[in-house]
Amino acid sequence: MKKFDEINIIPFIDIMLVLLAIVLITASFISQGKIQVNVPKASTAVAFKSDELAKLVTVTKKGELYFNDKPISQEALESEVNQWDKAQKVTLKIDAEASFQDFVTITDLLSKNDIKNVAIVSMKEKGNQSNSMSMEKGTQ
């Protein structure tokens, strides 16, 4: 029988790489939220850190509101926004087929409370295909 002088760490490294891949894939699903929304396309994009996604407001094409992936009424959202700090970072995810009035209503609500650090989720165009998720940062 062969005597082992050192430990073979290659299987350990293989396992760690698989775990890293699983963590990265899971993190990308978490940052996009659970509500399925067809976001609009944009020609430019800015990358974000995950800590900047603290408050997520989602509007579906039917005009349904979600706050951090939980259904919320407009009145409840307004009372929630009233409690936020003026420097609060907000991510706005609106369906491309939602009415423009839905967008104006949400931005007006944020504007009334002087919340200016707003990121709008969009898909980056790549020719005629848009494959990657990106976020466009803007202020009101």
User: Does position 68 have pLDDT exceeding 70, yes or no?
Assistant: yes
* Identity at 85, one-letter amino acid code: D
For residues 9-20, give the mean pLDDT. Answer: 93
Q: How far is residue 100's CA from residue 109's CA, in Å, rounded to a whole number?
A: 14
DSSP state of 52: G
pLDDT value of residue 14: 94
1-5, 41-45, 117-121, 132-136: which range is least confident on average? 132-136
Q: Of 76, 73, 84, whose CA–CA distance to 115 is shortest? A: 84
- pLDDT confidence band for 34 (50 / 70 / 90): low
pTM of the model: 0.56
The answer to whether the CB of 93 falls within 8 A of the CB of 64 is no
CA 125 from centre of chain: 18
Separation CA 99–CA 90 (nearest Å): 20
Task: Note the pLDDT of residue 140.
Answer: 43
Would you state the pLDDT for residue 57? 86
Region of residue 33 (phi > 0: left; psi between -120 and 50: alpha; otherwise: beta): left
Q: Hey, what amino acid is at 125?
A: E
pLDDT of residue 85 exceeding 80: yes
Contact 92, 109 (CB under 8 A): no
- The predicted model gives 43-55 an average pLDDT of 58
Give residue 13's pLDDT.
94
